[in-house]
Amino acid sequence: MSTASGNFKHSLIGPKGVNGKLFVNMEEFLDTSSFMDLHHEVILGLALVDKLDHSYIMGEIPPELRKDYGNMFLESEIVENIEAYDPTGFHRERTKDLTLQQKRRYYYMAFGALSPWYGVCYLRYNNFLKKTSEKELQNDWHDNAAHFPKLVSYIESLKGKVFDEVGRVLLFVSYPLVPTVVHRDYIQESHRDHSVNLFLSKGRPSFIYNEVTGEKSYLDPNCRAYFFNNRDYHGVDAENEMRYTLRIDGTFTKEVQDKIGLVDGFVY
């Protein structure tokens, strides 16, 4: 499988989708009857966790959308062009002993970097490129998971039905009136990143952005669980309340792969 775009720079490629579809409704593979009960557990659990982590977006925002985000830059773009933002080296000296993630967090305040989400609550954590494999997990369920016992049990029940393995699990939390910036999760290439995004209470205005035509294609507002090609530009419009999305990464069972048209597990 060949790489279509081998770096994080903005490029005009257009969405590739999953077997010809921008979104794959995954509700046929899931029991959605307990979603509202799980939602009530989640909102209480988010109140109980000690802290939310930051999450980061690699690459660049499509230039034509800059105005939609106040012409702000992502912290990853600032990292890449730090000399322009910090010509005297003042900030680099102050952060020289920080980790990359700590530096990126610093840039939110120092340079007004655009924050893509209010925060992220990890239930299972691992490296992005190994996030779909339980075998590659750096650890098992995060301490945060203790606040979500019903949700953990539900996710475990998906093994053998939807996923052969469950890898990374997290809750993306969005602040009211703030959109999720249009982004790609990684370079656009053939891949085996399998995942399900779930809305436990109600749908969200999620979309795939076509950078060639400038058009947004929206998810069915009634859809509560879906899969998409995370290498396509995507985002979520601002909503007037705090919302979250549950993301479960893993490896789909052969039955699910065949049903949605993945050849040897590859998304395209």
Q: Using 50, 70 and 90 to split pLDDT, how confident is the model at 6?
A: very low
Residue with tokens 């794959």: 24
pLDDT by residue (tens digit) across 242-268?
999 999 999 999 999 999 998 877 787
Q: Which residue has the higher pLDDT, 138 or 148?
A: 148
Q: What is the mean pLDDT of the chain?
A: 88
Q: Please say if the pLDDT value at position 191 is more than 60.
A: yes
Q: Which of 73, 51, 63, 66 is nearest to 10 (CA)?
A: 63
| DSSP tag of 76 | H
Q: Which domains does the chain have, with CATH numbers?
A: 24-53+117-260 (2.60.120), 75-110 (no CATH)
Residue with tokens 């579809």: 21
Tokens of 169: 């699990």
Looking at residue 2, its pLDDT comes to 34
pLDDT by residue (tens digit) across 55-101?
777 778 888 998 988 888 888 888 888 999 999 999 999 999 999 88
Q: Using 50, 70 and 90 to split pLDDT, how confident is the model at 132?
A: low
Q: Please say if the pLDDT value at position 130 is more than 60.
A: no
User: Residue 216's beta-bridge partner residues?
Assistant: 209
Give the global pTM. Answer: 0.88
Of 190-194, 199-203, 239-243, the range with the lowest mean pLDDT is 190-194
Report the pLDDT averaged over residues 209-230: 96
CB atoms within 10 A of CB 164: 18
Residues in the chain: 268
Q: Are strands 206-210 and 225-227 parallel, antiparallel or unpaired?
A: unpaired
CA distances from 232 to 15, 18, 150, 179 (A): 5, 10, 32, 17
Q: Is 170 exposed, middle or buried (0-12, 13-18, 19+ CB in 10 A)?
A: buried
Please, are residues 75 and 107 in contact by the beta-carbon 8 Å criterion? yes
